Amino acid sequence: MTAKTSDIEMAAGVLRAGGLVAFPTETVYGLGADAEDPAAVARIFQVKGRPPSHPLIVHIGGAEQLGDWVEDVPATARLLAEHFWPGPLTLVLRRGRRVPLEATGGLETVAVRVPDHPVALALLSAFGGGVTAPSANRFGSVSPTTADHVSAELGDAVDFVLDGGPCEVGVESTIVDVTGEIPSVLRPGGVTREDLEAVLGYPLAVPAASPVRVPGQHPSHYAPRARVVLVEPEKVLVEPEKVIVEAELAQELGHQVGLFLPASLAGAVVKAHAVVALPDSMAAYARGLYRFLRELDQQGCDLIVASLPVEEGLGLAIANRLRRAAGPRPSSTGTVPRQ
Ligand code: AMP
Ligand code: MG
């Protein structure tokens, strides 16, 4: 789905004036500001309730612009950019001078990507500069994959919302650190580890120290209001009856249970508040993941029992988001604070 030229022009004008524009990408909807305007960038953090130390991604219109935003472009970065851009791959490189520290959370590195969406690319082309954007949701909650999700969650806090239809990929980009000798994945996402290694011709490095390289990153993220409990793929495979019986017991004990189950098992559930029959393909599961979580919240579920995919290919990114959604919440009320 494309947007009207007049809407693109208007959105570019909002960016030029220091405003915030929500826009579609192939991964999720972003909350964008002029990457070179520190005051506009600061407003993103304020609207999201995001800690200022949590860095943003700078979106650019083409791989040929990469050198304008980073200190230098190593050969590996060039190779990956040529191969996967436009696409759901973010490269972390040494920060170029035009990127304000507000956008990088004070880091001397910057995350950059070229989104693969006609509306995002039209906006970047009309605006002419870089657009820094995290996902267009409150910090810690479920990412938006439609324009309605953005409006429902952020409302008037956003100056302009571009509607480009539902996002194709549905989970965020893969973040690869290319500042070291061997690239490492900081966050699994839309481009698989297998795809990256096939292009590189060698295995990716394990990220140094901890996979949580980003200051201020909280163990709970991508979280719906309902508590999330995970079921490992082996358990779904070996004892599916037990998974169903346990979920039904929770419902009998007074919970409003929402279940994510493979389609082959979903029909066997008798007692649950809501059941999502998961698509067989990982691409369809990723595309629907955040929508499913939002729908179960809307239907009044207080407990989501989610069956995890096998952690390979896109399944790695889906499992990463579900594990974080199930992570310990910052308050004792069991919900993520929302400003
Ligand atoms: P979001 O757009 O909300 O998915 O968040 C952007 C993510 O990009 C952050 O959570 C970080 O994980 C990552 N990121 C951005 N800049 C950097 C950087 N300089 N170094 C490492 N990770 C980064
Ligand atoms: Mg986010």
The span from the CA of 325 to the CA of 230, in Å, is 10
Q: In angstroms, what is the span from residue 241 Cα to ligand 2's centroid?
A: 35
CB atoms closer than 10 angstroms to residue 241: 9
Residue 213 located in a structural domain: no
To the nearest 10 degrees (0 to 180), the angle between helices 282-298 and 147-154 is 30
Q: Residue 339: pLDDT above 60? A: no
How many C-alpha atoms does 253 have within 13 Å on its Cβ side? Answer: 9
Q: Residue 16: pLDDT above 80? A: yes
Residue 208 located in a structural domain: no
User: Domain range spanning residue 263?
Assistant: 227-325
Distance from CA of residue 173 to its chain's centroid? 6
CB 192 within 8 A of CB 313: yes
pTM of the model: 0.93
What is the pLDDT averaged over residues 235-246? 94
Do 89 and 173 share a structural domain? yes
- Residue at which a domain ends, from 132, 165, 200: 200
Angular region, 49: left φ>0, alpha ψ -120 to 50, beta rest: left
Among 70, 214, 217, say which to mutate for ligand 1: greatest number of ligand atoms within 8 Å of CB: 214
Could you report the per-residue pLDDT of 129-175, keeping only the tens digit for each?
999 999 999 999 999 999 999 999 999 999 999 999 999 999 999 99
What is the sign of the dihedral through the CA atoms of 288, 290, 293 and 296?
Answer: negative
The ligand 1 atom nearest the CA atom of 95: 19
pLDDT of the residue at 130: 98
Integer CA distances (angstroms), 128 to 15, 112, 211, in order:
10, 15, 34
Whether omega for the bond prior to residue 183 falls within 30 degrees of 0, making it cis, is no
Strands 109-113 and 160-161 turn out to be unpaired
Q: Residue 115: pLDDT above 90? A: yes
Q: Spell out which residues line ligand 1, taking CB within 6 angstroms.
A: 54-57, 92, 104, 107, 109-111, 134-135, 172, 175, 186-187, 213-214
Structure tokens belonging to residue 149: 């999700």
Among all ligands shown, which has an atom nearest to the Cα of 207?
Answer: 1
Q: In angstroms, what is the span from residue 320 Cα to ligand 1's centroid?
A: 15
Structure tokens belonging to residue 293: 């979580």
Number of domains, the chain? 2
Q: Residue 209: pLDDT above 80? A: no
The ligand 1 atom nearest the CA atom of 50: 3
Residue 17 located in a structural domain: yes
End-to-end distance of the chain based on CA atoms, in angstroms?
32
CB 22 within 8 A of CB 161: yes
Look up the CATH number of the domain holding residue 243. Answer: 3.40.50.11030
pLDDT of the residue at 80: 98
Could you report the per-residue pLDDT of 265-307, keeping only the tens digit for each?
999 999 999 999 999 999 999 999 999 999 999 999 999 999 9
The span from the CA of 292 to the CA of 285, in Å, is 9
pLDDT confidence of 125, banded at 50, 70, 90? very high
Q: Residue 17: pLDDT above 60? A: yes
Residue 59 located in a structural domain: yes
Could you report the per-residue pLDDT of 26-66, keeping only the tens digit for each?
999 999 999 999 999 999 999 999 999 999 999 999 999 99
Do 235 and 193 share a structural domain? no
Q: In angstroms, what is the span from residue 91 Cα to ligand 1's centroid?
A: 10
Report the share of the chain in percent with pLDDT over 90: 90
Q: What are phi and psi of 266, to 5 degrees?
A: -55, -35
CB 213 within 8 A of CB 224: no
Do 292 and 162 share a structural domain? no
Look up the CATH number of the domain holding residue 159. Answer: 3.90.870.10
Report the share of the chain in percent with pLDDT over 70: 94
Residue 206 located in a structural domain: no
Q: How many residues does the chain have?
A: 339
pLDDT of the residue at 97: 96
Residue 336 located in a structural domain: no
pLDDT of the residue at 214: 52
The span from the CA of 237 to the CA of 167, in Å, is 30
Q: Residue 337: pLDDT above 60? A: no
CB atoms closer than 10 angstroms to residue 170: 26
The residue nearest atom 6 of ligand 1, judged by CA position, is: 56
DSSP characters for 44-100? HHHHHT--TTS--EEE-S-GGGGGGTBS---HHHHHHHHHH-SSSEEEEEEBPTTS-
**Mean pLDDT estimate for the chain:** 93
Q: Residue 212: pLDDT above 60? A: no
